[in-house]
Chain A
Amino acid sequence: MIALVKALWTVFLHSFRKRATIEYPEKKAYLAPRWRGRIVLTRGPDGKERCVGCYLCSAVCPVSCIALQCAEDETGRRYPEFFRINFSRCIFCGYCEEACPTYAIQLTPDYEMSEYDRQNLVYEKEDLLISGQGKYPGYDFYRVAGVSIGGKGKGEGENEQPPIDVRGLAD
């Protein structure tokens, strides 16, 4: 009996507690920078697309919601001809971001992407591409990678030495 009265009193005291509810459209919950939300494609410091069309994101995606087609421009730089993410399937696991070798695909702290039409959840490349660099500013894959590309030969990248003539070593 006393326990019951105590319980009633405890519950009553909860009237003066802070509400746990966040009144959503007016107030929003804090989202960490690494929160896994809407997926974007970022650009490098030179403003060019980072994606090199390696298909790793598409391969790792557990729900197969990423589709792309790789192409190559005249300088030998690879880029996706189309890049499509079906957000009605996406489970926001972030595997694509982990798999990406060039930091091109990134998840952002944004979840407000409801649509009335299911078809509108299929994002094309122009919907996914952002103008900025996302979470890794200053990173440029081609500048640190040892591949030759229009305007940059082998050995001209950062922390790179000119290629060694292997035959010359044998002399």
Chain B
Amino acid sequence: MAVDTESGRAMNQTLVMAGTIAGVLAGVLVAASLLIWGERRLLAVWQDRSGPNRVGPLGLGQVAADVVKILTKEDWIPPFADKPIFVLAPMIIMTTTLLSFAVICFGPSAVVADLNVGLLFFLAMSAMGVYSVVLAGWASNSKYPLLGAMRAAGQMFGYEVFMGLSLMGVVMCAGSFNLREIVLAQRHLWFCVPQVLGLVIFLIAGFAETRRLPLDLPETENELVAGYHTEYSGMKFGMFYVGEYVGVVLVSSLITVLFFGGWLGPWLPGVVWFCIKTLVFVCFFVLCRATLMRPRYDQLMSFGWKVLLPLSLANLLVTAAVVLVRGGQ
């Protein structure tokens, strides 16, 4: 009998786990596809327009319409492309960004993998994401994708360095790489106050990582056609497209977890607080797209290496000193 209950408990745990995974996957993908509509609506709001409001209530059917459109489009692989890698590249970006969600804690217990090196796992996954872009540009075997991929490589490697460094301040304050413990360490004071510099640097690095508009140099329309995904069409392009939105949701939820207390908040359940905070940052991403212009590539690189990297190192140093002094007391 004892064995039976034990196996039953294990079974239960597996079910809960599967439920969590399915919930996280579905939630993230729904949020990302809603962003197809949401971004266009928000951009319209900030440009005094209405945006897509015809298909279904509030234009929400636009998501379905776009999905149907992109799925029924011709999925063309250029004859000069390196076929296996060309097909593989968009899968990598989706996989890595979706895998990163495994370590994010949406609520006190709503987390897929409660890793003790959760933050490192995220950094590793976002570093893997660079492969997708570079391979896509390389496998396309055409000049604009290659140029875009080279830019992406330079930009993402460069910005990855201080993306990691900017987060180390948070790690020091919390004393853990585990995202759940980082959230719990913010019960008294959200890290956006002591780590404001880290927040700003992480935000900028987040733009570079997701290749969103102020820093979308790998895909600048006016000089590189569409950058690394110029040769992509149909659902393979759609994967890059949705992958970008998944990335936006990912960075927004990371900002929430690391700097704005994750699920912490009064009255409402934790998951709701998490979603509200994440939504605010997703909207902020769109607002930045609506406002900011893109820098030149040399400006981007010199800003990254000459300003943000020293700043993040200084932030790290000061935080370390403060933590040391506090710890010494």
Contact = CB atoms under 8 A, between A and B. Distances in A.
A and B co-occur in one complex: yes
Interface in B286-302: 287-288, 290-292
Contacts of A118: none
B45 interface: yes
A18 B48 CA distance: 7
A12 B45 CA distance: 9
Contacts of B53: 23
> Across chains A and B, which 8 residue pairs bring their CB atoms closest together, nearest first?
A11-B291, A21-B50, A20-B48, A14-B46, A15-B45, A7-B291, A11-B46, A17-B48
B240 to A, nearest CB: 26
B49 interface: yes
A34 interface: no
Interface in A8-63: 8, 10-12, 14-15, 17-21, 23
Contacts of A12: 46, 287
B291 A8 contact: yes
Contacts of A17: 48
B47 interface: yes
A17 B48 CA distance: 6
A8 B288 contact: yes
Contacts of B47: 14
Nearest to B288: A8
B48 A4 contact: no
Given A4-B292, A8-B288, A11-B290, A21 B49 contact: yes
A8 B48 CA distance: 15
A157 B91 CA distance: 85
A20 B45 CA distance: 10
A15 B46 CA distance: 5
B49 to A, nearest CB: 5
B38 to A, nearest CB: 14
Interface string B260-300: 00000000000000000000000000011011100000000
Nearest to B293: A7
B61 to A, nearest CB: 17
A12 B49 CA distance: 13
A55 to B, nearest CB: 46
B192 to A, nearest CB: 15
A7 B293 CA distance: 11
A17 B46 CA distance: 9
Contacts of A23: 50, 53
Contacts of A19: 48-50
12 contacts: A7-B292, A8-B288, A10-B291, A11-B290, A14-B46, A14-B47, A17-B48, A19-B48, A19-B49, A19-B50, A20-B48, A21-B49
A118 B195 CA distance: 66
A20 B49 CA distance: 6
A109 B46 CA distance: 32
B48 A11 contact: no
A18 B50 CA distance: 10
Given A15-B46, A23-B50, 18 more contacts: A4-B291, A4-B292, A7-B291, A8-B291, A8-B292, A11-B291, A12-B287, A14-B46, A15-B45, A17-B48, A18-B48, A19-B48, A19-B49, A19-B50, A20-B48, A21-B48, A21-B49, A23-B53
Nearest to B51: A21
A49 B8 CA distance: 93
Interface in B10-49: 45-49
Contacts of A8: 287-288, 291-292
A8 B287 CA distance: 7
Interface string A80-95: 0000000000000000
Contacts of B50: 19, 21, 23
Contacts of B45: 14-15
A14 B286 CA distance: 14
Nearest to A5: B291
Contacts of B290: 11
B49 A11 contact: no
A18 B288 CA distance: 21
A9 to B, nearest CB: 9
Contacts of B46: 11-12, 14-15
B48 A14 contact: yes
A11 B287 CA distance: 8
